[in-house]
Copies of this chain bind each other. A is one copy, B any other.
Amino acid sequence: MNNDPSASDEAADFQVHENFERFSQKFDIYSRAFWDSEIRTEKTDRFFETYRTPLKKWKTVEGFSQRDYALRNASWHLPDIFAELKESENRREGFLDPFTVHRPGPEDRVPVDSPEQMSREVKHVAKAFGADLVGITGYDERWVYTHAYSRLGETEKPQELPEDLPNVIVIAQEMKKDLLDTVPSALSGAATGIGYSADTLVLLGLTQYIINLGYRAVATMNDTALAVPYAIKAGLGEYGRLGLLITEEFGPRVRIGKIFTDLPLSHDVPKSFGVKKFCETCSRCADACPVGAIPKGPPTDEVYNKSNLVGITKWTVNAEPCFKFWSNQNSDCSICVRVCPYNQDFTGFWPRAWRWLAGTRLRRLALWLVNRFVPGDRVSPAAWWRRGTEA
């Protein structure tokens, strides 16, 4: 095992430069929406508030009615409980701080003769807890936030992740396609909440399992570190134009979690199935974004604003207009995910055949086919409600 994590940058197609700077969660757009007057408005306050409390007046527009918000907000029940459980201790677990795991472990450690065998065992257990995808990679300080962010006081606070946990287990949970395809709608946000709920369940269960084996493990979701670079290094997928992980199994339709541990584990390697080259020929996400937040050109190291990573060449979504659109429509948006050609149900034969084609030199043909037959149109929220409720 190579101890320099940047050694596998080439395999992962990462272009990290000498001027690279680690990120502080304070500059995340969701943090800036609280402390940064350039971002915070009445609408951003209302955006967050209406995940928690009912709207003052229900809209009648389809997809934004009471039942749509009722389901979206209910879908956040489980992650919200953990996020708010330790608010009095200035923690927002799963979003700004790692999860507290419930039970202390034993004194004895299960001996690990073979990290390879233990990696397979951890994946098997993760699947038993309902994990959709699991990969394992090494600790890489570059992706760990320099500081956590404190909602109380709206300041940075020290990064609590220990630096001596050499292995990172990355899980990804599918977001439901039928819900997500109704975006823009409040209803589509239920795909996010249900995805985070599954993430939470798997992360806490698997982390407790490792602790019960006698090792240390820290369960993190949106907090503590950037998820996408770890997921790519762990072989879960590739980086796409829309700034998200694109997995072979579910395309960009996943939520990611990560567990840092000293349990001895072997590592996966980055895996390419042609996404980068395909994204170079395709601009459906950029064309569909209502506020032009997704770049149409090649990857650059241009810095749009303080929510950007510095010193890395990649496709970068402009978080400011993106989030402004979320707060204007008063629900999270994932139009880019809906229109992505990789947003397909790959259990079917034709989607799998298409995915193979998109990874070959015939990718322009693949793009023509997907434009012709899988346009990524919005499914009406009324159709989602009707689908399950017809007699």
* Cα of A223 to Cα of B129 in the assembled complex, Å: 24
Bound Cα distance A124, B206 (Å): 29
Partner of A102, one of B54, B77, B128, B129: B77
Shortest distance between the CB of A24 and any CB in chain B (Å): 30
Docked CA distance A197–B179 (Å): 23
Contacts A52-B103, A54-B212, A388-B120 hold; do A125 and B71 have CB atoms under 8 A apart? yes
Chain B residue contacts of A181, Cβ below 8 A: none
Given contacts A71-B128, A125-B71, whether A205 and B78 have CB atoms under 8 Å apart is: yes
Closest to A214 in B: B66
Q: Which of B52, B66, B117 contacts A213 (CB 8 A)?
A: B66
Chain B residues with Cβ below 8 Å from A53 are 103
| Given A54-B212, A67-B110, A194-B129: A389 and B124 interface contact (C-beta under 8 Å) | yes
Assess the A389–B117 pair: CB atoms within 8 A: yes
Q: A66-B108, A71-B128, A213-B66 are in contact. Are A116 and B205 (CB under 8 A)?
A: no
Residue ID in chain B nearest A125 by CB atoms: B71
> How far is it, in angstroms, between the C-alpha of A279 and the C-alpha of B382 when the chains are bound?
45
Beta-carbon contact of A66 and B389 below 8 Å:
no
Which 10 A/B pairs are nearest by Cβ-Cβ distance? A124-B388, A54-B106, A70-B212, A74-B209, A74-B208, A120-B389, A77-B208, A121-B389, A77-B204, A70-B213
17 contacts between A and B (CB under 8 A): A54-B106, A67-B110, A69-B212, A70-B212, A73-B208, A74-B206, A74-B212, A75-B129, A77-B101, A78-B204, A80-B103, A124-B387, A128-B179, A128-B194, A128-B388, A130-B198, A201-B201
Supply 10 further A-B pairs (C-beta < 8 A) apart from A66-B106, A74-B125, A84-B102: A52-B103, A58-B108, A66-B213, A70-B110, A74-B209, A75-B205, A120-B391, A128-B179, A128-B190, A130-B194
